C-alpha cells in the first residue's frame, strides 16, 4: 500500500485524494486535492472555469496518533457564470471560510456540549474564541427544521454575559423545552426582532408568553402578539420580594446605633433569604430573635414569605383575594421598598394571577434556564454574542452529537 493511499484511508474524508505527506515544525502535513477536476463554485456549487490559485491553504484535521495534522491545498478561484463573480472554490473537507475540517469541527462541537472551556481548548489545541466560531458552523450545519415553527407557549428571559455588562435575550419553547432564539440586548427592540422573524401568522398562534415584569418585554409582546396571555415569571416576582427585603435590611443596618445590633442584623442576611424549611439551627435561632430585635425587618420578612405563599396557591380566586390583601398590607407597612413593590404588583396582578392559573413560568424550564446560565458563564471568553448564542443552541436545543471516530473505509 502506498503511503498516500494509506493516509487517504486514515483521513476518512469524502472526495479527497492525498498527493503527498510530510512534516513541518507543527506536525504532519498532508497535501490533498478534491477528487473532482473542475473547480466548483462555493456559492452555488456549480462547476466553473478556474480563474487563479491561492497557494498552500491549510486546514486543521483531527490529530493523528496525537500528532497535529494539517491538510494543504492550493485552492482555485472560480469564474462562475451563474453567480457572475470570481469566488473561491468549494472543498469537500471543509465549509467555505473555515480553516478546520468538518470532522474536526464536529469533535469540537461534541466536546463543547459537555466540557468546560479549558478542556475543549486544551484537548483540541484551539483558542476558546475559535471554539466560538466553530460552534456557530456546527450549529448552522445541523439546524434543518425551523425552530420557530409550531410555537404556542414560550418564555423570554434575559441572561447577562461578559460579567454583567451585556445581555442577551433568550426565547425558550416551553413545550419542547429548548432554546429557539437568542439575540444580544434586552430592550423592546430586541424582542420585536424575534417577532419580526416569527412573522404575524406564527405570532398569532402564540397562546402564552412568560416574561419578567420589565416594561420592554411587555411592550413587545402586547404589540406583536396581542392575543397571547402574558404570564409574569414567578421567580422574577420572588426576586423582587427578596430585593425589597434586602433593602429594608440594609436600611436597618445603617440606622442601627449599637455595634451589637448592627452585627445582629447583618448576620440575618442569609437566613432571611432562605425558605423557612431550609434554615439551619443557627439561622432559625437568629430569625426567632428577630420579632423582638427588629420589628421592621421582621415585618419585611413576613411580607416576603406571605407573597411567596400567595404564589403557591392553586385556586385563582383565593390567590386573587390573598394578593389584594397582600397589596394593602404592604402599602400600609411603612416600609418604602415594599410600598413600591406593592405598586408594581398591583399594576401587574393580572399577569401574576395568570401564573397561578396556568402554573407556567420560566421555572418550568428551570433545568434549561440553569443550563443556559451555566453556558453563558462558560462563554465569557467569547468576543461576540453570536458565539454565545451558538453555544446556547448547541447545548440547549436538542442537537445530538457523537464523538468523531473514523476507521479505514469510513468517510465523513
What does the binding site for Zn ion look like in residue numbers (CB under 5 A)?
41, 43-44, 80, 82-83
Q: Nearer to Zn ion by C-beta: 75 or 169?
A: 75
Measure the N-to-C terminal CA separation of the chain; round to a whole number of Å. Answer: 22
* Smallest distance, Zn ion to C-beta of residue 96, A: 11
* Smallest distance, Zn ion to C-beta of residue 155, A: 42
Q: Nearer to Zn ion by C-beta: 83 or 175?
A: 83
Q: How far apart are CA 169 and CA 399, in angstroms?
A: 20
* Smallest distance, Zn ion to C-beta of residue 53, A: 18
Q: Nearer to Zn ion by C-beta: 43 or 202?
A: 43
Nearest to residue 404, comparing CAs of 102, 139, 190, 185?
A: 102
Q: How far apart are CA 29 and CA 56, in angstroms?
A: 11
Query: How many angstroms separate the Cα of 116 from the Cα of each of 22, 109, 122?
Result: 34, 12, 10
Q: Nearer to Zn ion by C-beta: 87 or 253?
A: 87
- Count the neighbouring beta carbons within 10 Å of the beta carbon of residue 400: 7
Q: Inter-axis angle of helices 295-312 and 234-255, to 10 degrees?
A: 180
Query: How many angstroms separate the Cα of 194 from the Cα of each of 153, 211, 237?
Result: 14, 14, 24
* Smallest distance, Zn ion to C-beta of residue 48, A: 6
Strand partners, 231: 210
- In contact, 284 and 324? CB cutoff 8 Å: no
Q: Nearer to Zn ion by C-beta: 49 or 266?
A: 49
The length of the chain is 412
Q: Nearer to Zn ion by C-beta: 83 or 192?
A: 83
* Smallest distance, Zn ion to C-beta of residue 90, A: 9
Q: How far apart are CA 104 and CA 126, in angstroms?
A: 11
Q: Nearer to Zn ion by C-beta: 82 or 289?
A: 82
* Smallest distance, Zn ion to C-beta of residue 55, A: 23
Phi first, then psi: what are they for 211, rounded to 5°?
-140, 170
Strands 153-161 and 208-211: parallel
The grid coordinates of residue 123 equal: 484537548
* Smallest distance, Zn ion to C-beta of residue 50, A: 13
Q: Nearer to Zn ion by C-beta: 41 or 203?
A: 41
* Smallest distance, Zn ion to C-beta of residue 59, A: 22
The residue at minimum Cβ distance from Zn ion is: 41
Within 8 A by CB and 6+ apart from 162, the residues are 380
* Smallest distance, Zn ion to C-beta of residue 391, A: 32
Q: How far apart are CA 385 and CA 258, in angstroms?
A: 49
Q: Nearer to Zn ion by C-beta: 96 or 227?
A: 96
Q: How far apart are CA 216 and CA 234, in angstroms?
A: 18
Query: How many angstroms separate the Cα of 293 from the Cα of each of 257, 281, 298?
Result: 13, 18, 9
Amino acid at each position: 500500500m502506498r503511503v498516500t493511499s494509506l493516509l487517504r484511508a486514515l483521513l476518512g474524508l469524502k472526495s479527497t485524494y492525498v498527493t503527498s505527506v510530510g512534516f513541518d515544525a507543527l506536525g504532519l502535513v498532508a497535501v490533498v486535492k478534491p477528487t473532482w477536476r473542475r473547480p466548483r463554485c462555493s456559492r452555488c456549487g456549480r462547476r466553473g472555469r478556474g480563474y487563479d490559485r491561492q497557494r498552500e491553504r491549510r486546514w486543521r484535521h483531527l490529530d493523528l496518533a496525537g500528532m497535529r495534522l494539517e491538510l494543504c491545498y492550493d485552492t482555485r478561484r472560480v469564474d462562475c457564470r451563474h453567480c457572475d463573480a470570481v469566488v473561491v472554490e468549494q472543498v469537500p473537507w471543509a465549509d467555505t471560510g473555515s480553516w478546520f475540517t468538518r470532522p474536526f469541527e464536529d469533535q469540537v462541537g461534541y466536546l463543547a456540549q459537555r466540557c468546560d472551556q479549558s478542556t475543549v481548548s486544551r484537548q483540541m489545541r484551539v483558542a476558546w474564541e475559535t471554539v466560538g466560531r466553530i460552534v456557530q458552523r456546527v450549529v448552522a450545519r445541523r439546524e434543518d427544521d425551523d425552530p420557530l415553527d409550531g410555537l404556542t407557549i414560550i418564555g423570554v428571559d434575559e441572561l447577562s454575559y461578559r460579567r454583567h455588562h451585556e445581555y442577551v435575550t433568550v426565547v425558550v419553547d416551553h413545550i419542547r423545552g429548548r432554546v429557539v432564539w437568542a439575540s444580544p440586548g434586552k430592550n423592546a427592540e430586541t424582542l420585536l426582532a424575534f417577532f419580526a422573524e416569527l412573522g404575524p401568522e406564527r405570532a398569532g398562534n402564540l397562546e402564552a408568553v412568560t416574561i419578567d415584569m420589565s416594561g420592554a418585554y411587555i411592550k413587545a409582546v402586547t404589540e406583536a402578539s396581542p392575543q397571547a396571555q402574558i404570564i409574569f415569571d414567578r421567580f422574577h416576582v420572588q426576586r423582587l420580594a427578596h430585593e425589597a427585603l434586602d433593602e429594608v435590611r440594609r436600611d436597618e443596618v445603617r440606622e442601627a446605633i449599637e455595634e451589637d445590633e448592627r452585627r445582629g442584623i447583618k448576620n440575618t442576611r442569609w437566613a432571611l433569604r432562605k425558605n423557612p424549611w431550609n434554615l439551619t439551627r443557627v439561622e432559625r435561632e437568629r430569625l426567632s430573635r428577630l420579632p423582638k430585635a427588629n420589628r421592621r425587618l421582621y415585618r419585611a420578612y413576613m411580607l416576603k414569605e406571605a407573597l411567596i405563599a400567595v404564589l403557591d396557591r392553586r385556586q385563582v380566586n383565593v390567590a386573587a383575594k390573598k394578593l389584594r390583601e397582600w397589596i394593602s398590607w404592604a402599602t400600609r407597612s411603612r416600609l418604602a421598598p415594599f410600598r413600591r413593590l406593592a405598586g408594581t404588583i398591583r399594576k401587574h396582578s393580572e399577569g401574576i394571577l395568570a401564573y397561578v392559573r396556568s402554573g407556567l413560568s420560566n421555572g418550568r424550564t428551570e433545568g434549561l434556564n440553569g443550563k443556559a446560565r451555566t453556558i453563558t458563564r462558560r462563554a465569557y471568553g467569547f468576543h461576540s454574542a453570536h458565539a454565545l448564542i451558538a453555544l446556547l443552541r448547541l447545548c440547549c436545543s436538542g442537537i445530538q452529537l457523537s464523538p468523531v471516530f473514523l476507521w479505514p473505509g469510513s468517510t465523513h
